[in-house]
Amino acid sequence: MSEAVVDFNVNNYRLFGVHTFTSIDAKLAVIFLPAGLKYHVGPHRLHVKFARRIINDKICAYRIDPYAIGESDGLLKSGSVQNIWRDIEEGKFVPDIVSMIHHIKTQKGIDKVVLFGICGGAVTAEYVAEKIQIDGIISVNTACLLSSSNKSKKQITNKQAGNIFRNYFKRAFSFDGWRRFFSGQSDYNALIQIVGNLKRRVLRSRKEIDGINTKYLKLLSKCKERKVPHLFIFGERDGRWLEFQDIALKNIFNNEMSNNNYDIHVIQDANHELHLKEWQDKAVDLINIFLENEVNDA
Amino acid sequence: MSIRGFLEDKDKRKIFYTLDGEEENNSELWIVCSPIFEEKVFTYSFIKNLADNLASKKNLVCRFDYLGEGDSDNSDAALSVNDWVGNIKNLISHIKCMRDVTKVNIVGLRLGANIAMEAAKECAFEKIVLLAPIDIGEKYINELLRFNLSTQLAAFRKVKYDRGSLKDSLLAGQSVNILGYELYERLFLDISKLSLREQLDNIKSKVSIIWFDKTDKISIPSRYLELSSKNPNLFLSSLKLVSFWHEPKYINVERAELIQKVTEAIDDLG
């Protein structure tokens, strides 16, 4: 295996990435997109570990930094992380990434591109697929809700409310639970949200959940219609899976976990960033099967 | 001129590094040591900005990823703090072959500060700047293990293995997961036995330590004040600053106040 630093000139800025390969003849590139504000190595360098495990003579990998992230030129403007996340969820990195992919396709002899993204990176992947030909998307714990600029107003979905409700229901029979409630240690915002959610269900209100990333969901629908191969991986314990079930699974995927063009997998007990090695192993297995099908299709 | 690339060590392991600074007028090299694990990811932009600032003052500046960190080669159970010191020594030799370096300095953040001090036992650094160093390695290890407990709670809704069990597992040769990173016995023992106070004993270089605290009441541990009163080469200062090496709520990449403080600390060292 070899690795090399690659740089791209985009709008007179130098943007950087790392190319991982075993053969310069590889025709399929998996491009790892930044997860939120975490630079090209990804959370706990997951992109590095995954890139080194999925490449072969037919497949190479790039992990890239858009402007103001990681090795690339520029400094992020100061501000609330929630606001910056929201900008990313609305497509902040898309122009830089499209330019870098264009360069990789035209200068590096790559025929097919598969995008890999965790959380905000998965959202970015969908926006990028709207702008440039993409041959597959691997989404890990993708985000259907926009980050709130005001945490206290963060909405929760039915599944999340149900989850929290079950936890609080257990605590209703515990002395410690009531002690926490009366001593101001409970998450009152969550309780208010649960009551609101129950009210919506009881009154069968058609009021929609606030903060849904409708632009992303439309693109997800379009991608499905265009039959862009898509592998979704979720951690069973991640709130993003609950969101996805409430918001996208029913409305876009008719509650079907797979068809010819997409597969939705849930890794038991896994969290948002797939911390444990066994969760990562499972994800790599799924990705390798997905990529093998992609390469075979070529 | 800047370089971004990989340096291979004698065991063919590749280390990612960057070298910034103009070709001419460079006689001082600064090695920048990052924190480890996810603290490195969260401080990456600050470390890069600090390096750019040092390079803008006609220094050569080298940032790098320790073995098993960032883009460098993956590590295994045998990884030790000594390997990371070896990374620093290799980089210095490599850069000295390329450039005319007369003085070598080092700056480190968090555990990176302690790694810099370990490297100082084998390298003749002119100036050493330590930012929020780890005072006692064992306490830091307990902080790391707390992240494992949080992961257990999130995944299994209960703590299956407490800190004691995790330490037993490490000593039995198993790894413990810290926010996605695997910690093994060797590194666990190496970090556990680190003590900044002991690292400062017999140090010949000029050392400046900057302590951080989120309140105005920054207390520099008395043992360092005592040591500083006896050692004219040890400079202590403090800065009111919220720690920024964990998931932040507010982004301030520039950290002008900290960059200014580092500049002052370097000036103190002459």
pLDDT tens string B231-261: 999 999 999 988 899 988 888 888 899 999 9
**Structural domains counted in chain A:** 2
Average pLDDT, chain B: 93
Compute the count of residue pairs across chains A and B with CB atoms less than 8 Å apart: 94
With an 8 Å Cβ cutoff, is A75 touching chain B?
yes
- If you measure CA to CA, which chain B residue comes closest to A280? B180
CA B7 to chain centre: 19
Q: Are residues A249 and A219 located together in one domain of the fold?
A: yes
CA A198 – CA A204 distance, rounded (Å): 9
Would the pLDDT of A201 be above 60? no
Q: Do A110 and A190 share a domain, yes or no?
A: no
Q: Rg (Cα) of chain B, in Å, rounded?
A: 19
pLDDT at A158: 67
CA distances from B187 to A295, B43, B139, B142, B190 (A): 40, 21, 14, 14, 5
Cβ separation of A38 and B181 shorter than 8 Å?
no
Q: What is the pLDDT of residue B94?
A: 96
| Cβ-proximal residues to A165 (8 Å cutoff; 6+ apart), any chain | A194, A198
- Record the pTM: 0.90
Dist CA A179 CA B85 (whole Å): 51
| Domain boundaries, position A168 | 156-203
Among A43-57, A247-261, B245-259, the range scoring the smallest mean pLDDT is B245-259
- pLDDT score of A152 more than 50: no
Residues in chain A closer than 8 A to B13 (CB atoms): none
Domain termination site, one of A183, A203, A223: A203
Residue intervals in chain B for CATH 3.40.50.1820? 2-136+194-269
Determine, for residues B151 and A70 on separate chains, whether the beta-carbon distance falls below 8 Å. Answer: no
User: Among all residues of chain A, which has the CA nearest to that of B72?
Assistant: A48
Top-tier CATH class for B2-136+194-269: alpha beta
Q: Are residues A114 and A170 in the same domain?
A: no
Cβ-based burial of A169 (10 A; exposed 0-12, middle 13-18, buried ≥19): exposed
Domain shared by A231 and A187, yes or no: no
With CA atoms as reference, the chain B residue closest to A2 would be B14
What single-letter amino acid sits at A229? P
- Tell me: do A22 and A48 sit in the same domain: yes
The beta-carbon neighbor of A80 closest among B71, B249, B254 is: B249
CB within 8 Å: A37 and B251: yes
Are A7 and A64 within one domain? yes
Structure tokens at B160: 């299956």
Chain B residues with CB inside 8 Å of A275's CB?
151, 177, 179-180
pLDDT of B186 higher than 50: yes
Which chain B residues touch A84 with a CB distance below 8 Å?
251
Indicate the DSSP class of residue B248: -
Statement to judge: residues A241 and A118 lie in one domain: yes
Over pLDDT 90: what percentage of chain B? Answer: 81
CA B58, CA B26: separation in Å to the nearest integer?
6
Q: Would the CB atoms of B251 and A71 count as touching at under 8 Å?
A: no
For residue A172, pLDDT beyond 90: no
Q: Is the ipTM of this complex over 0.90?
A: yes
Tell me which residue in B71, B74, B249 faces A18 most closely, judged by beta carbons: B71
Q: State yes or no: pLDDT of A193 exceeds 80.
A: no
DSSP three-state, residue B50: helix
Q: Are residues A47 and A185 in the same domain?
A: no
For residues A23 and A164, state if they share a domain.
Answer: no
Examine the domain organization and report whether A198 and A216 are in the same domain.
no
CATH number of the domain that A63 lies in? 3.40.50.1820
Q: Cβ–Cβ of B180/A82 closer than 8 Å?
A: no
> Which chain B residues are within 8 Å of A4, Cβ to Cβ?
5-6
Same domain, A43 and A176: no
**A108 in the same domain as A29:** yes
